[in-house]
A and B are shown apart, each in its own frame.
Chain A
Amino acid sequence: MNLLLGALTLGFILSLVGLGVWVSFRIFKVADITVDGSLTFGAAVTAALVVGNGTNPLAATLAGMLAGMLAGTVTGLLQTRFKIDPLLSGILVMTALYSVNLRVMGRSNVPFLGKPSLQTWCEELGRAVLGAPSVDVFGWPVAAGDLAVVTLAGLAAVLVGSVLWWFFRTDLGTAMRASGDNAQMIRALGADVERYRILGLALSNGLVALGGSLLAQYQGFADAQMGIGMVVWGLASVIIGEALTGAPSLGFSIVGTIMGSVFFRELVAIALGFGLNPNDLKLVTAAFVFAALVLPSLLGRGRAQEVRP
């Protein structure tokens, strides 16, 4: 039970990463590997501020998110102003971020060591609200702190999902979607497509870094390696989500990504419970995304992708 609860919490936290990847992959149609670096960037900035500086955890989390937006902006500038291939832009920024992250952290791993973080705040809140160190859930003892953490992680996912749903239905957000769908058209309608792309990638990587910051606080440390393979993991969430909901609309696509993230984490937890070697996890994830990308067209009932001249 505790294993599944932990997986649920992770699923919610990483759904922010999934939503970030959803923005770059579904709106701009690029698999933006900046994600692998910006996730760690968010975690590193938050950890360095909290541990080294005693910064307020909320401010440190926000700073982590801003760091990710900065990384996304750089990738966006490489893609637009310097006309570098989107994939290569992401690779460049991700590689550069590896050094930046080590600089920010000062070493390759920074533990929080019980310093006040959003994690410890949530745990205290849980104990205060429930008035007991643990409660029974369907006959299983669950720590009050864990319950509070999973609830707030879920709320964060729902909140971010709602904000995205709202944003992409505003004038600005609709134009951003169009700039990924048909740049020629929206340029002729007066939108500065390059600016929208930069803005969108900043948004995407900001969400990813926010997820990274929360992940670091949840697991109690930031690590230079923690971002590796995260873009593939985010893609898995997006794709599973579309399979689960059919993604007939924007809202379903967003909800689906959160569901996909949670669903996949639970699957992983169960597989690990049955003895899957954690070292094989990334291989399994990559194989899974491959299968999810290829199977629909093999089965001949692929969702009609964009129609392009």
Chain B
Amino acid sequence: MSARADDSPAAVEAMVRVRGARKTFNVGSPEEVRPMQGIDLDIPAGQFVIVLGGNGSGKSTLLNGLAGTFRLDEGTIEIDGHDVTRWPEHRRASLVGRVFQNPFSGTAPMMTIAENFALAARRGRPRGLGWALNAPFRDELRDRVRGLRMGLEDRIDTAIGALSGGQRQALTLLMATWIEPRLLLLDEHTAALDPKSADQVIALTDEIVSSRRLTTLMVTHAMQQAVNLGDRILMMHRGNVLHDVSGPAKRRLRVDDLLARFEDVRRRELLDEGAAALLERSYV
């Protein structure tokens, strides 16, 4: 917990605090993009946040910025009371668990399921010369993997690269939460899966996140998921948070409402930049 005197009670409870975050990629080149244009964000501990937005609106950039894949140009990030603005990615891993969009990204394909979990079990902790695997760990692993009901508990010594995308995403989710993360980042982690596997992984996500009350940001393009899951919806547009809906308003939200908001964004796209900025100021 932050001990700073000027913290308001609400802010002290925030697991994540982003202030004035800005990022420009490819500065000065014709491909210059500004996927973070002064983002302020407070996420209370235990909140499950759904992040929506069109392609290139800055959803992944927000998550990557929290995870530390790049440094902010401006602004600060606090996670669980630590100012992590200058922490490199591997250091932030002590606080952050991640699942990527690509099932290949979250696991080491040539290594066994058990070895992958041994790595996850030391997330953000020092790695020494003790055996990575031992009998008690294997037993615990089998138990937890059995909970997935994918029959993988008997295959913990096969290379994880031999599994299907859905199986790998489910395992990656289990790995990311093996040690409880202060913040869980899920970036379209079901987008590359077939519908059945996607449903399975979403159900698992809901189960893990709600039962352990993990502070979570989940990016998705599936409106139905956004409506069914989570406590809060952020809608991103051009590097800004355009809508922020939580509480009863979030629970009342239906797919049609979301689609209407997207349509609204699309119409604004047709306006010129100046008018859009004006509208945005009065809108947000």
Closest to B102 in A: A309
- Judged by a CB distance under 8 angstroms, whether A236 is at the interface is no
- Judged by a CB distance under 8 angstroms, whether A172 is at the interface is yes
Distance between A259 CB and nearest chain B CB, rounded to angstroms: 21
A-B contact pairs, 26 of them (CB 8 A): A169-B131, A170-B132, A171-B128, A172-B127, A172-B128, A174-B115, A174-B119, A174-B132, A177-B111, A178-B115, A181-B110, A181-B111, A182-B104, A182-B105, A185-B106, A186-B119, A187-B93, A188-B93, A188-B106, A189-B123, A189-B175, A190-B91, A307-B161, A308-B104, A308-B109, A309-B105
- Judged by a CB distance under 8 angstroms, whether A239 is at the interface is no
Question: How many chain B residues have a CB neighbour from A under 8 Å?
Answer: 37
A134–B116 CA distance with the chains assembled, in angstroms:
53
* Contacts A170-B132, A174-B132, A188-B67; A306 near B120 (Cβ below 8 A): no
Residues of A within 8 A of B131 (CB): 169-171
Closest to A190 in B: B93
Contact B119 A189, beta carbon cutoff 8 Å:
yes
Closest to A171 in B: B127
Contact B118 A182, beta carbon cutoff 8 Å:
no
A177–B119 CA distance with the chains assembled, in angstroms:
10
Distance between B119 CB and nearest chain A CB, rounded to angstroms: 5
Contact A182 B93, beta carbon cutoff 8 Å:
no
Residues of A within 8 A of B106 (CB): 185, 188
Residues of B within 8 A of A178 (CB): 108, 111, 115-116, 119
Of the residues B98, B109, B132, contact of A188 by C-beta under 8 Å: B98
A positions within 8 Å CB-CB of B = 167, 169-175, 177-178, 181-182, 184-193, 306-309
Residues of B within 8 A of A182 (CB): 104-105, 107-109
- Judged by a CB distance under 8 angstroms, whether B155 is at the interface is no
Closest to A26 in B: B110
A181–B123 CA distance with the chains assembled, in angstroms:
17
A184–B109 CA distance with the chains assembled, in angstroms:
12
* Contacts A171-B129, A307-B109; A188 near B102 (Cβ below 8 A): no
Contact B100 A184, beta carbon cutoff 8 Å:
yes
- Judged by a CB distance under 8 angstroms, whether B130 is at the interface is yes
Distance between B49 CB and nearest chain A CB, rounded to angstroms: 19
Residues of B within 8 A of A167 (CB): 129
- Judged by a CB distance under 8 angstroms, whether B222 is at the interface is no
Residues of A within 8 A of B86 (CB): none
From B124, B125, B127, name the one whose CB has the most chain A CB atoms within 10 angstroms: B127
A50–B161 CA distance with the chains assembled, in angstroms:
49
Residues of A within 8 A of B98 (CB): 188
A167–B129 CA distance with the chains assembled, in angstroms:
7
Contact A190 B105, beta carbon cutoff 8 Å:
no
Closest to B127 in A: A171
Residues of B within 8 A of A307 (CB): 104, 109, 161
Closest to A186 in B: B119
Residues of A within 8 A of B129 (CB): 167, 170-172
A170–B105 CA distance with the chains assembled, in angstroms:
23
Contact A190 B100, beta carbon cutoff 8 Å:
no
Contact B161 A184, beta carbon cutoff 8 Å:
no
Residues of A within 8 A of B123 (CB): 189-190
Closest to B129 in A: A170
A188–B63 CA distance with the chains assembled, in angstroms:
12
Residues of A within 8 A of B111 (CB): 174, 177-178, 181
Closest to A184 in B: B105
Distance between B271 CB and nearest chain A CB, rounded to angstroms: 38
Residues of B within 8 A of A191 (CB): 90, 93, 119, 127
